[in-house]
């Protein structure tokens, strides 16, 4: 299959992973950054889209247009169409694809409209992208941006807020807790073809990490939370389910774990069994939190200074968000690297053949080392 034919196939079937895998044959090792792996799917980066646009501009429409910018939001002068599939997000005006998004949101997007629900909206504010799917992402990618828009757009209640997915589960609970958001009208964009007459879009530029954490703190500062009794203060976070392939991201030397938990008076807490408000209250009053890296650790933003967090993670993982939140809140935040039960060769094979990344693998924790860490701090 030629490169041009393959690119046309990707346009027609943007969620077909096989086409992206085939595309890797045309990319040299120095251009690996052209691919973004997210939610177990492949997308194209802006660098690769620029390459495509320059080489195949007659076959592939990836025009970038300039629009009226107001601070960090964009107001369109004409009607727009919004598309959000499983791994692609795009906004198209009469001028072409708009460059208003950068994180996992390529301009190279087309859908077969007959497969999508068509929804017409008169006035809408679009705050979505493909990746705002879990408990942490929804707060740093959607709620922070919505908070910024509310400060800049008068009478926000008169607009429909377009977000990624249906307002159910933790999304609904987070929105209902926050007084700025609970009375707004929301619609999801996933697998829909939205036609919006009057549209405002957050530019979705990811801020610097320190700024992002500051915005997260401002989002939750002084928000009142109901009180709950009998929640533990020494917490070991366990995961039960996952929609992004991370359900196996947990410690597997269970006997050692249970012995250590009992000796140190920790309680195993499965976050799915708590309401969001209970989660927030529990972290507000926690003394020590231990757990495998995951979305629940976004709750560190609610913890008190001088408390303790130990994040267990795969030794190849370099995620810094939660650790930097701990630094921002003056928390004793320690990252404890762990091995998986597999050899590095098996780990590489799992990633290549099954798209399972190292950060999604089960872990073997050295509880003697964990004990030494806590003995020094507590």
Query: For residues 126 and 141, what is the distance between their CA atoms, to the nearest angstrom?
Result: 12
Nearest to 92 by CA among 110, 74, 72: 110
Least confident of 225-229, 241-245, 248-252, 255-259: 241-245
Are residue 215 and residue 343 in the same domain, yes or no? Answer: no
**3-state SS of the chain: helix, strand, coil percent to 5?**
40, 25, 40
Are residue 190 and residue 99 in the same domain, yes or no? Answer: yes
What lies within 8 Å, CB to CB, of 344 at 6+ separation is none
Give the domain extent around 162.
Answer: 65-220
Whether the CA torsion 234, 236, 314, 325 is positive or negative: it is: negative
For the cut 70, the answer to whether the pLDDT of residue 187 exceeds it is yes
Confidence of residue 76 (pLDDT cuts 50, 70, 90): confident
In the chain, the DSSP E strands lie at: 35-38, 41-44, 68-70, 73-75, 80-84, 89-93, 96-97, 117-126, 160-163, 185-188, 192-202, 234-238, 267-270, 288-292, 308-314, 332-338
pLDDT score recorded for residue 256: 97
pLDDT score recorded for residue 178: 96
Q: What is the pLDDT of residues 37-74, one digit of tens each?
A: 333 334 454 445 555 555 544 444 433 333 333 457 78
- Determine the straight-line distance between the first and last CA of the chain, rounded to whole angstroms: 61
Q: Is residue 47 part of a domain?
A: no
CATH of the domain at 257: 3.40.50
Are residue 71 and residue 214 in the same domain, yes or no? Answer: yes
Confidence of residue 33 (pLDDT cuts 50, 70, 90): very low
For 154-171, what is the mean pLDDT?
93
Confidence of residue 289 (pLDDT cuts 50, 70, 90): very high
Confidence of residue 372 (pLDDT cuts 50, 70, 90): very high
For the cut 90, the answer to whether the pLDDT of residue 91 exceeds it is no
Would the pTM of this model clear 0.75, i.e. be above it? yes
For the cut 60, the answer to whether the pLDDT of residue 366 exceeds it is yes
Q: Average model confidence (pLDDT) for the chain? A: 80
Q: Is residue 193 part of a domain?
A: yes
Point out the domain boundary residue: 220, 254, 269: 220
Are residue 246 and residue 214 in the same domain, yes or no? Answer: no
Q: What is the pLDDT of residues 205-224, one digit of tens each?
A: 666 788 889 999 999 999 99
């Amino acid at each position: 299959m030629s490169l041009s034919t393959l690119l046309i196939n990707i346009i027609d079937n943007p969620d077909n992973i096989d086409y992206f895998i085939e595309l890797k044959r045309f990319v040299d090792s120095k251009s690996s950054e052209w691919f973004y792996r997210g939610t177990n799917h492949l997308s194209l980066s802006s660098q690769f889209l620029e390459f495509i646009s320059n080489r195949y501009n007659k076959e592939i429409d990836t025009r970038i247009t300039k629009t009226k910018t107001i601070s960090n939001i964009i107001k369109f002068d004409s009607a727009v169409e919004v598309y959000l599939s499983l791994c692609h997000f795009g906004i198209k005006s009469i001028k072409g694809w708009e460059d208003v998004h950068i994180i996992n949101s390529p301009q190279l997007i087309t859908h077969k409209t007959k497969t999508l629900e068509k929804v017409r909206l008169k006035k809408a504010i679009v705050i979505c992208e493909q990746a705002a799917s879990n408990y942490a992402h929804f707060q740093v990618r959607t709620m922070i941006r919505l908070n910024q828009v509310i400060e800049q757009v008068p009478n926000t209640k008169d607009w429909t807020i377009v977000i990624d997915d249906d307002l159910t589960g933790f999304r609904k609970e987070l929105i209902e807790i926050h007084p700025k958001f609970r009375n707004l009208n929301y619609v999801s964009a996933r697998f829909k073809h939205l036609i919006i007459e009057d549209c405002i879009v957050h530019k979705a530029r990811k801020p610097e990490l320190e700024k992002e954490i500051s915005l997260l703190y401002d989002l939750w500062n002084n928000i009142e939370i109901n009180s709950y009794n009998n929640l533990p203060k020494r917490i070991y976070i366990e995961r039960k389910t996952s929609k992004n392939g991370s359900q196996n991201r947990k410690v597997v030397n269970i006997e050692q774990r249970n012995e250590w938990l009992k000796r140190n008076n920790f309680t195993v807490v499965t976050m799915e069994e708590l309401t969001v408000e209970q989660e927030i209250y529990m972290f507000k009053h926690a003394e020590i939190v231990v757990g495998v890296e995951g979305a629940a650790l976004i709750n560190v933003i609610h913890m008190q200074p001088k408390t303790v967090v130990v994040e267990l993670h795969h030794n190849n993982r370099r995620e810094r968000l939660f650790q930097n939140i701990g630094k921002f809140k003056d928390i004793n935040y320690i990252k404890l690297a762990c091995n998986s039960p597999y050899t590095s060769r098996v780990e590489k094979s799992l990633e290549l053949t099954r798209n399972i990344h190292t950060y999604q693998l089960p872990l073997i924790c050295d509880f003697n080392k964990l004990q030494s860490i806590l003995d020094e701090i507590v």
